[in-house]
Every structure is written in C-alpha cells, then in structure tokens.
Amino acid sequence: MAGGTTAPLAVRMRPTSLDDVVGQRHLLGPGSPLRRLAAPSEGASGQSVILWGPPGTGKTTLAQSIAHSSDRRFVELSAVTAGVKDVRQVMEAALNDRDLFQRSTVLFLDEIHRFTKAQQDALLPGVEQGWVTLIAATTENPSFSVISPLLSRSLLLTLEPLGDDDIAELVDRAIADPRGFDGRIALDDEARAQLIRLSSGDARRALTALEAAGAHALEAAGEGVADAPTTVTAEALASAVDRALLRYDRQGDEHYDVISAFIKSVRGSDPDAALHWLARMIEAGEDPRFIARRIIVLAAEDIGMADPQGLVVATAAAQAVQMIGMPEGRIPLAEAVVYLATAPKSNRSYLGIDRAIADVRSGDIGRVPTHLRDAHYPGAKRLGHGKGYRYAHDAPAGVATQQHLPDPLVGRRYYEPGAHGYERDVAARLERIRRILSGDA
C-alpha cells in the first residue's frame, strides 16, 4: 500500500478524471451531461444533476472526478452533517464568486435524501438562479425523497450496479497500482471470482474486502520477505472478511439450482426452506430485482386464485425493493416469501391460460359472435353488430344468459377452480354463473 497513508483503499483508488471511471458507460458518452459538467468553465454545463443509485456504484467518484477535471470552485457537503446554515453559506460564497471573480461553483451534496424539506428548500434559490451547479447523490428514489421543485430543476441520472467485469477491472487495478498494493499480492482464480461475487456490484465493498484480505495475507507471509507476490486464496479471503463465501455463480448451475429450490420450497408450502434459499441468494449477491420478479411469477403461477392477495403482496415487495434498495429490501422480500409459502395454492389460472393459448395456436378459434362486436362506429348496427347483446348489470343476478365464446368453442372450459382457499368459494359461484350463462338455471 502507498506509504504514509491511512486512507482506505477505496479512497486511495478513487479516479481523478471521468476517463478513469469504471462502469456507468451509459452516463459517460461524448457530450453526456456529466462530460459537459467536467468541461472547462467556458464550455461547461450549468445543469444540476441528481445521481441515484445503490451504494458503491460511483456517485461520489463521479462528483470528485468532475471536480478534478473542471476549473470551477468545488464544494462538498454531506447531508448527514450539514444544515441550512451551511447551505446558505455556500450559496452566499457562490454568489460572491460569480459576481466578483466570474467563477462558478459546483456543490456536491451527498445523501440528499437525509435533508428535510426545509433544508432542500434552501438549495432552490442558488440552483434556480444559477449561483451553483448542484450534483446531489442519493441511494433512495428521488421521487419520494427529493422535493418536486428541486427535481424539476435537475436532471435525474440513474446509476446501475457495476458488472462483474467492472469489479474485476477495479480489483486488478488496485492490486497493480502504487496507490494500492503495488503488485505485492496476487489473487488466485477462485479468490478473485469469490471477491467479485461478494461485492454484489458495489465497488467500495470489493475494495474493502480486497484490502482486508491483502493485508491479512501479507501479514501471514511476513511482509517484505518474499520476492514474488503473496497469493491470496479463497480461504484467506473468507478468513479476512469473516464471512463464508458461497459457491454461487449468477450465470451458472448453482444460480439455477438455488432458484429452483427456492421456487419449489414456496410451492411446497415450506417457509423455512424458502427463507434459507432466499438468504443464500441475497448473501451471494443475486440481483434483488431478479428475486422480486421470480416472487411475482410465483404468486400468479402457484398461489393464484387460491389467494389473489398473494400477487398484491409480491408486487408490493418488488416495488419496496426498488424504492429502498438493499440491505433493507430483504425485509419485504422475506415477508412476501413467507406469505406465499403459507398461502393456499392453486395453479388453475396458469393452466387455464395455457389451455386457451394452445387452442389459439392450433387455430381452434372462430369469429367474434355478432352480438359481442363493436356497435359504436357508423354503419355497425346496419351490419347487425351488437344486436341481441344483453347488458349483464340489468340481469337480476348480474349475469345474463348469453354466449361469449366463438361458436366452435361453445361449452369449452379453460378455468376449473380448485378446492383450496378463496378458490373454493369461486368454484361454487362459478358453477351458478355457468348455469345462468348456458340458460340451465
């Protein structure tokens, strides 16, 4: 490590220009808002931006890279420690710099979601009048955490979790760079793969784990004794970070095996097993959005009409994960999993749509019955469209005797309700409905 410094590896390795930033390529193309912000002041953009993304995706790195690249005055505040007084002082200084020295100011405000409405209001005059160009960072959905006037005056840029290749590049750079380990350690293949998985797309997490593992390996080997780099093994990495490293490849067999076990545990009404497999995926760094999508599918496919509320719970959990991120997102995910695992089960809706699709694909269809056709356009009634249609709300039971399927499919049954949960009640009601529809009531 660089001599004479106690700064964490993640801080020492922070890029000093946008060209050195890893990941977020969708935000760093030529002419992009961030590139214009980093330009010399005469050609720079005055557009304020809000950077929204998970921890460790480079929000602070982007802001500080812009600071190093631009010749504008750069001020950094954290919403954790700053108050309205601090913001107003920055605004006053920015106004003076503009009027007296024709020098513009960039204000980087980290964790803006922690600011109250009154504190955010204090930013508005400077942003609106152009005294400062605001770069705000947040891990929470700005639609819920940033006031509307500030949102409307800023460009919202969404950062994505870093990919495995991005994390690998950062790790290799930290090992080779004099600011990092300067080539004094090497990761074996398994340790490198485990470290990338452990990071879950978070650069800071990856570099923090690398720093701990590298220091541990150097100390164990006797730093400065060996001429060759000290090898960091998967076992040494696990020991250094005090965490079991799961064998889980997000694109390999283990990924599919674990998600399969998860789905079958929920379907099998075993909440304990379902939570175990959920924990395995979370700890291995699986994308929580992938987990949430699978839970939504589970709710519709395996719980279905036995408990229609299951789909509502699953969708709400997915929205909650999107809003609050991880690690807190594990809580609504767990709630949804337990709800679905303990709910009554039915796959009858799923089977019903597949039967209907099979008929359509095989050409077993038929024309729309005349009385169901659209009768609102000129000339439709002359063609007989809508003639004989019975308005269900006018029928005594709210159901009118009437044909809704095409002629070749009259009497075809796609949905057959089961005998569990809410669907048990649906079965009895549907039997009465079908008798009325067919005229047998």
Residue 415's pLDDT is what? 92
Query: Is 396 exposed, middle or buried (CB count within 10 Å of its CB: 0-12, 13-18, 19+)?
Result: exposed
pLDDT per residue as tens digits for the range 173-197: 999 999 999 999 999 988 888 888 7
C-alpha 152, offset from chain centre: 23
Residue 305's pLDDT is what? 94
Q: Closest Cα to residue 368, out of 354, 382, 352, 384?
A: 384
Residue 224's pLDDT is what? 52
Q: Are 57 and 203 spatial neighbours (Cβ–Cβ below 8 Å)?
A: yes
Spans of the chain below 50 pLDDT? 1-4, 244-245
- Angle at which helix 309-324 crosses helix 288-298, to 10 degrees, equals 170
Give first-to-last CA distance, the chain, whole Å: 85
Domains and their CATH numbers in the chain: 24-158 (3.40.50.300), 164-241 (1.10.8.60), 253-342 (1.20.272.10), 362-438 (1.10.3710.10)
Residue 253's pLDDT is what? 58
Residue 4's pLDDT is what? 45
Residue 226's pLDDT is what? 54
Residue 302's pLDDT is what? 95
Distance in angstroms (rounded) separating the CA atoms of residues 262 and 409: 39
